[in-house]
């Protein structure tokens, strides 16, 4: 018996990083997952995990991409219990003053298209099924959902918006659907950048980051699996809605003089 036995999940940003790790855990816990990503790498999940995963290559910043994903879950397994809006892109922590003004509208549209519009589209596409199943929604926020300096102005504003979306949707959908978020701090992945700014992808972990963390180490991507699993579980998070769970290696309790009370800074 797994924690998520029989649960049907639509999961975006499943092809790499945190999402790929969480999907692997979900399947191990008995879930069936429509795994959505713009990257073809998502198709590898079917080879790795078998029939419990249905990979879909789609751009989730479009309405059509989300409809295809939701319909695939309904056609294949007849229901949707959990929607996870996890796909995201970064601005590479580019300060606003370094973004040419004439590129800013397109850069905004691209980053907000993936980080903010896409989870709205995904929820909208799954909403009838989620209400019927009394299911739940999980959105991936960030340390940047509540703090400055975890990204540039575009990324930080977008992740603050995700926090607002979690709270508003939790209100709108109560009591039928629970809505929560996960706010990671630093995970060793390569997030895509903004095409309009000529960015490709970049390491999410900057040199020296581990020394700034109270935990003094970069946790592996699998460190987020348990929190997503808990939030997807009807039994383990029945009393949670509207919560953004911080999983930030202690970033938000860092000290001024040193990251943690017992950290030796020499
Ligand atoms: N890595 C970190 O340090 C960190 C910190 C805080 C928050 N996050 C958040 O975690 C989430 C997962 O990021 P990750 O670090 O695992 O990065 P990642 O790049 O490894 O995973 C993100 C996935 O989203 C996919 N994606 C991007 N645009 C898409 C689109 N338009 N349509 C469909 N799929 C698309 C990518 O192809 C990729 O597979 C993101 O929301 C990110 O903002 C990451």
Q: Is residue 122 part of a domain?
A: yes
Answer yes or no: is the C-beta of 89 below 6 A from any ligand 1 atom.
Answer: yes
Sort 2 into a burial class: Cβ within 10 Å, 0-12 / 13-18 / 19+: middle
Q: Is residue 227 part of a domain?
A: yes
Answer yes or no: is the C-beta of 122 below 6 A from any ligand 1 atom.
Answer: no
8 Å CB contact between 116 and 60: no
CA-proximal residue: ligand 1, atom 7 (nearest): 142
Answer yes or no: is the C-beta of 20 below 6 A from any ligand 1 atom.
Answer: no
Answer yes or no: is the C-beta of 179 below 6 A from any ligand 1 atom.
Answer: no
Q: Is residue 15 part of a domain?
A: yes
**Series of mean pLDDT values for 10-residue runs along the chain (266 residues):** 95 98 98 98 97 98 98 98 98 96 98 98 98 98 96 97 98 98 96 95 87 95 98 97 97 92 88
Q: Is residue 82 part of a domain?
A: yes
8 Å CB contact between 4 and 21: no
Q: Is residue 265 part of a domain?
A: no
pLDDT for the residue 229: 98
Query: Residue 194 is part of which domain span?
Result: 8-251
pLDDT for the residue 1: 77
Q: Is residue 264 part of a domain?
A: no
8 Å CB contact between 186 and 204: yes
Answer yes or no: is the C-beta of 193 below 6 A from any ligand 1 atom.
Answer: no
8 Å CB contact between 20 and 95: no
What distance in angstroms lies between residue 23's CA and the mean position of ligand 1's atoms? 13
Q: How far apart are CA 208 and CA 104, in angstroms?
A: 30
Sort 263 into a burial class: Cβ within 10 Å, 0-12 / 13-18 / 19+: middle
DSSP H or E segment with residue 11: strand 8-12
Token pair recorded at residue 130: 């989620």
CA-proximal residue: ligand 1, atom 42 (nearest): 88
User: Any idea what the CATH number is for the domain that residue 154 is in?
Assistant: 3.40.50.720
pLDDT for the residue 8: 98
Question: Active-site residue among 26, 83, 143, 155?
Answer: 155
pLDDT for the residue 168: 98
Token pair recorded at residue 81: 């219990």
pLDDT for the residue 207: 81
Q: Annotated catalytic, 224?
A: no
pLDDT for the residue 266: 78
Query: DSSP of 178-247, one letter per residue?
Result: EEEEEEE---S-EEE--GGGT--EEESSPTTHHHHSTT-S---GGGGHHHHHHHH-TTTTTT--S-EEEE
Contacts of 201 (CB under 8 A, 6+ apart): 190, 191, 192, 193
What distance in angstroms lies between residue 167's CA and the mean position of ligand 1's atoms? 21
The H-assigned helical ranges of 85-191 are: 104-112, 118-133, 153-173
Q: Is residue 143 part of a domain?
A: yes
Tell me the pLDDT tens digit for each residue of 116-163: 999 999 999 999 999 999 999 999 999 999 999 999 999 999 999 999
Token pair recorded at residue 138: 């999980």
Q: Is residue 149 part of a domain?
A: yes
Q: How many domains are contained in the chain?
A: 1
Per-residue buried b or exposed e for 41-75, using 16+ beta carbons within 10 Å of the residue's own CB: ebeebeeebeebbbbbbbebbeeebbbbbbebbbe
What is each CA distance from 9 to 6, 98, 192, in whole angstroms?
A: 10, 40, 24
pLDDT for the residue 161: 98
pLDDT for the residue 203: 87
Tokens 């009838």 sit on residue: 128
Tokens 């903004």 sit on residue: 194
């Amino acid at each position: 018996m797994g924690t998520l036995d029989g649960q049907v999940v639509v999961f975006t940003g499943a092809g790499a990083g945190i999402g790929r790790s969480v999907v692997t855990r979900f399947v191990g816990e008995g879930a069936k997952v429509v795994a959505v990503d713009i990257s073809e790498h998502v198709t590898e999940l079917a080879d790795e995990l078998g029939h419990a995963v249905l990979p879909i290559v789609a751009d989730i910043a479009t309405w059509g991409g989300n409809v295809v994903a939701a319909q695939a879950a309904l056609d294949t397994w007849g229901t949707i219990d959990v929607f996870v809006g996890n796909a995201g892109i970064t601005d590479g922590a580019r300060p606003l003053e370094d973004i040419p003004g004439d590129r800013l509208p397109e850069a905004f549209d691209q980053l907000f298209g993936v980080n903010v519009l896409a989870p709205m589209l995904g929820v909208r596409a799954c909403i009838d099924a989620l209400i019927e199943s009394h299911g739940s929604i999980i959105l991936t926020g960030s340390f940047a959902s509540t703090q400055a300096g975890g990204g540039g102005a575009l990324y930080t504003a977008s992740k603050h918006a995700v926090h607002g979306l979690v709270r508003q949707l939790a209100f709108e959908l109560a009591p039928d659907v629970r809505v929560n978020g996960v706010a990671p701090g630093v995970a060793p992945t390569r997030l895509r950048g903004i095409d309009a700014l000529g960015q490709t992808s970049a390491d999410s972990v900057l040199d020296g980051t581990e020394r700034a963390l109270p935990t003094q180490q970069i946790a592996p991507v699998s460190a987020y699996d348990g929190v997503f699993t808990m939030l997807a579980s009807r039994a383990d998070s029945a009393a949670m809605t509207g919560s953004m769970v911080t999983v930030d290696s202690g970033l938000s309790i860092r000290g001024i003089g040193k990251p943690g009370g017992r950290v030796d800074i020499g």
